[in-house]
Amino acid sequence: MLPKSLQNLIEELSKLPDIGPRAATRLAFYLLNQKNEEIQKLINAFINLKKIKFCSQCFNFSEDELCDICKDQKRDKSKICVVETALDIIPIEKTRAYNGLYHVLGGVISPSNGIGPDKLKIRELIERIKKLKTSNLEHQTSNIIEIILALNPTTEGDTTTLYLERLLTGPDFRGEKIGIKITRLARGLSKGSSLEYIDEDTLKNAMLGRR
Amino acid sequence: MLPKSLQNLIEELSKLPDIGPRAATRLAFYLLNQKNEEIQKLINAFINLKKIKFCSQCFNFSEDELCDICKDQKRDKSKICVVETALDIIPIEKTRAYNGLYHVLGGVISPSNGIGPDKLKIRELIERIKKLKTSNLEHQTSNIIEIILALNPTTEGDTTTLYLERLLTGPDFRGEKIGIKITRLARGLSKGSSLEYIDEDTLKNAMLGRR
């Protein structure tokens, strides 16, 4: 009863997360009433998605080899904040309480979902820290490297945080000249909540009170 | 902190109804993780939207001059179901309790929103009925034309229904050989609700019990 092209659009929209068939239908009808140039803007935005790749250093999304944060000379390169997804960078940046770099793990350890440490960017984090230490030694700076573990306060997040803490204080990193300080976001984040939905103040305090 | 092309997509998605900045961000990140061919399907669906125009007879959406329903020779051409939007055709069709044609008004009379009868396809409805009557006279069929007023049971919907009832039983339509029967969907639809969200059975009963 609907034109094929309209049915097809509704189908495609229904595939998107949190959009059921009804919401997809409403969206499609809304789009039908929009001017061609508005639709074209949306189409262009989708086309430009193809430009986006991963930052080769921190695995944030980026249009270039390095993302805007890694490229920024004003940022404190001795601090690396480890997050689950690139999405988590946004609320932390909004607090303006942090001026270091990031490292996107790409998830958390979750045996029930078949996600082991090897599926996350943990090896890349270790290599990145080692490289940073070597560079500090070469430049004879005595900056302490701070790794802030800012994973979501869920069971999997906590497990991953523990795993990383042990790894980063393990044999590979002991007895060397340049120290690593490992901190976590202060609790105050309620158990089971998600970084993405926490208000700025709570997150800011959690960042400032990190230990 | 996000690549421009990603920020732009989030902005464009935020313009859509019922999608706030957070939902838009989640959608954009979801799309980033999709294969290029999936994104391309979505892009094609948007591009094909341009094919869709209005049916010249009933103002349903259509890729051709006439929509699939108006083209269908098996449908009862002596019945016209008047609805607010093309979206309302879908739930009525799903009931399978109606086999006539439709007429999409394009809204309801709403003085507070500056929508008078002249902004709706009412003139076109009148002309359509007159043409149908003339055609019936020519073919010497004595079919009674039934106009089913299936507007949403809201204040504006009721006002528009009353307006149409008076218009269709007014001087233009009196004392002629071929009668017009005007029916409404049976109440049972709860006041203030929306056709789009009513369960099929209720709507089916309302259609069968029309008066």
Is B59 a member of any domain? Answer: no
Cross-chain residue pair A86–B29, CB shorter than 8 Å: yes
The model scores a pTM over 0.80: no
Cross-chain residue pair B48–A17, CB shorter than 8 Å: no
Residues A119 and A85 grouped into a single domain: yes
Cβ neighbours, 10 Å, residue A73: 5
CATH number at residue A177: 3.40.1360.10
Q: How far is A66 from chain B (nearest CA, A)?
A: 11
pLDDT of residue B177: 47
Residues A72 and A158 grouped into a single domain: yes
Cα–Cα nearest to A162, from A93, A82, A100? A82
Residues A65 and A42 grouped into a single domain: no
Is B56 a member of any domain? Answer: no
Residues B40 and B116 grouped into a single domain: no
Residues B100 and B143 grouped into a single domain: yes
Phi, psi of A210 (to 5 degrees): -65, 150
Residues 6+ apart with CB under 8 A from A182: A146, A147, A149, A164, A165, A168, A169
Residues 6+ apart with CB under 8 A from B136: B78, B142, B143, B145, B178
Cross-chain residue pair B23–A18, CB shorter than 8 Å: yes
Tens-digit pLDDT profile for residues B63-115: 999 999 999 999 999 999 999 999 899 889 988 889 999 999 999 999 999 99
Residues B41 and B86 grouped into a single domain: no
pLDDT of residue A103: 97
Nearest-Cα residue of chain B relative to residue A29: B87
Residues A94 and A80 grouped into a single domain: yes
Is B107 a member of any domain? Answer: yes
CATH number at residue A8: 1.10.8.420
pLDDT of residue B138: 79
Contact of B43 with A107, CB cutoff 8 Å: no
What is the residue whose two structure tokens read 């349903």?
B60
Distance of CA A118 to the CA centre of its chain: 17
Per DSSP, B189 falls in state: B
B43 touches chain A (CB under 8 A): yes
d(CA B22, CA B19): 8
Contact of B181 with B147, CB cutoff 8 Å: yes
Counting the structural domains of chain B, the total is 2
Residues B69 and B153 grouped into a single domain: yes
Residue of A3, A30, A32 lying closest to B17 (CB–CB): A30
Q: Count Cβ neighbours within 10 Å for each residue of A141-178 and write b for 16 or more, e otherwise.
A: eebebbbbbbbbbbebbbebbebbeebbeeeebeeeeb
A188 Rama class: left (phi>0) / alpha (psi -120 to 50) / beta: left
- Tens of pLDDT, residue by residue, chain B (211 residues): 788 899 999 999 999 988 988 899 989 989 988 888 999 999 999 999 888 999 999 999 999 999 999 999 999 999 999 999 998 998 899 888 899 999 999 999 999 999 999 999 999 999 999 888 888 777 776 678 899 999 988 889 989 999 999 888 877 665 554 578 899 887 666 666 777 777 777 777 777 767 6
Is B37 a member of any domain? Answer: yes
Residues B38 and B75 grouped into a single domain: no
Tens-digit pLDDT profile for residues A112-164: 999 999 999 999 999 999 888 888 777 776 678 899 999 988 889 989 999 99
pLDDT of residue B120: 96
CA dist A209 → A90, A115, B16, B194, B208 (Å): 19, 30, 38, 51, 67
Cross-chain residue pair B43–A39, CB shorter than 8 Å: no
- Tens of pLDDT, residue by residue, chain A (211 residues): 788 899 999 999 999 988 988 899 989 989 988 888 999 999 999 999 888 999 999 999 999 999 999 999 999 999 999 999 998 998 899 888 899 999 999 999 999 999 999 999 999 999 999 888 888 777 776 678 899 999 988 889 989 999 999 888 877 665 554 578 899 887 666 666 777 777 777 777 777 767 6
Residues A64 and A157 grouped into a single domain: yes
Token readout for B144 is 């009674």
Domain that holds residue B12: 4-51
Residues B36 and B71 grouped into a single domain: no
Residues A24 and A107 grouped into a single domain: no
Cross-chain residue pair A48–B18, CB shorter than 8 Å: no
Residue of B3, B9, B45 lying closest to A63 (CB–CB): B3
Is B18 a member of any domain? Answer: yes
